[in-house]
Structure 1
């Protein structure tokens, strides 16, 4: 069912009955194929400046949903609106950060941040100043001339975030951007991302497998079902402040939200695992 919204507030992003199917050939390589439903009847509204996190079991269609929002794929049915207009392809109004850093290895950190600005026709002198501004924003001042192989994993991901922010997209799409990092670096970048979000006011849609990460970052956590992916429930996460305490993750409030989301996910994870077993035995 569609989410209820206040009539006077127009959402930044709207998913209206969005479904996505794929054609899958059988394993024997025969011509026979079947239709595979990744997403089914997604209804979701996201307000401007909101930080929304998607969680769900493996294979539930989280990344597919983000691809649709990024314009990298099209829904089989339904539509996605951005500022009231249907999304029909990629655009500079959306920046994407993937789990893989996707930095150009032959460019320096600054050169990577400038890359998107070149495509938009920003003059060279302005590109340089803007790149330095966003490298500073993500804490990479002093590393402008380093190539990706000279940077740690966390630094490379900071560079990818800076590159996505530099051309000033309205919406930042993030597909498990911290999954490959060690725990300490991941928590550090979570704090950095919150700081950047609070400073820039971007609308953020963030995918994760981690419940703790979802609770720590998200104003709203959308819990998805096992395949085909649907929105099972949206959990509002309301802390008095995410920066007022150094021990938010150990607070009773945090534990309560974590338990609520895990309870919603538990059956879905079990269903996804059972489905995997059934498909493996075919």
Structure 2
């Protein structure tokens, strides 16, 4: 496995209480090399906490997370991150934003510029390198964020609801673009979403999380005979969607 969560639990101290808040409880989950894994779950189930642990920004209370067999002990350039909010530097152009991670790797300036332009081309923004974030649409800014994360060539791309703030048409367009990029680069992608349709459309497997404390309730394999045409019209799409919706409905009902 590329990524392994081994009995991972995460607790947070609660002000004026002796009892900690348990966000995640006994997470066991594996992600294969080059896999596109999506995660869905009820609000507050710990999806983003799980991703924070994988980035190394916070440590588990117990258990272990490994990438390529090595324990995660902090942030690293082997992981690229794309958030819901674009997190672009407003004083840098699109090209300058993409170059940022390459600067951290001490890539020479000439090579850095060429790599950044290549990745802007990859996300369909060739010719927009001199634009500042305020001169770009929301979808274009998210493309810059994806290009920035890909440019320094991480092994794993972590995405925390990156399309949630976009309109439906732009979101679907970027979903298609992301699949094209994934197929071209072969990156391992872990993608968090609230949308069941998005999870089924993008993921090779969908991990469904329980209500808090978050656990992996079930991992559903998603397979289609072909991705040509309107995938959402495929009868299997509806079957996968219904199975996930049923699991989530049960989780919400259990805490109502």
TM-score > 0.5 by shorter chain: yes
Residue 199 (str. 1) matches residue 184 (str. 2): yes
Residue 17 (str. 1) matches residue 7 (str. 2): yes
CA distance in 2, matches of 1:22, 1:266: 27
RMSD: 0.8
Q: Shift of residue 80 of structure 1?
A: 0.3
Equivalent residue runs for 1:156-171 within 5 Å: 156-171=141-156
CA distance in 2, matches of 1:33, 1:131: 50
Residue 258 (str. 1) matches residue 241 (str. 2): yes
Q: Residue 51 of structure 2 is aligned with which of 66, 86, 96?
A: 66
Q: Shift of residue 250 of structure 1?
A: 1.5
CA distance in 1, matches of 2:130, 2:61: 44
CA distance in 1, matches of 2:138, 2:19: 39
- Give structure 2 stretches of 5+ with no counterpart: none
Residue 118 (str. 1) matches residue 108 (str. 2): no
TM-score, normalised relative to structure 1: 0.89
Q: Shift of residue 33 of structure 1?
A: 4.5
CA distance in 1, matches of 2:109, 2:100: 11
Residue 56 of structure 1: aligned partner: 41
Q: Shift of residue 142 of structure 1?
A: 1.2
Structure 1 or 2, whichever has the larger Rg, is 1
Residue 87 (str. 1) matches residue 77 (str. 2): no
Q: Residue 150 of structure 1 is aligned with which of 135, 141, 145?
A: 135
Residue 216 of structure 1: aligned partner: 201
Give secondary structure in 2 for the equivalent of 1:178. coil
TM-score, normalised relative to structure 2: 0.98
Q: Residue 249 of structure 1 is aligned with which of 228, 232, 236?
A: 232
- The structure 1 segments of at least 4 consecutive aligned residues displaced by more than 6 Å after TM superposition are none
Residue 107 of structure 1: aligned partner: 92
Give secondary structure in 1 for the equivalent of 2:86. coil
Give secondary structure in 2 for the equivalent of 1:205. strand
Q: Shift of residue 101 of structure 1?
A: 0.1
Q: Shift of residue 253 of structure 1?
A: 1.0
- Give structure 1 stretches of 5+ with no counterpart: 1-10, 26-30, 275-282
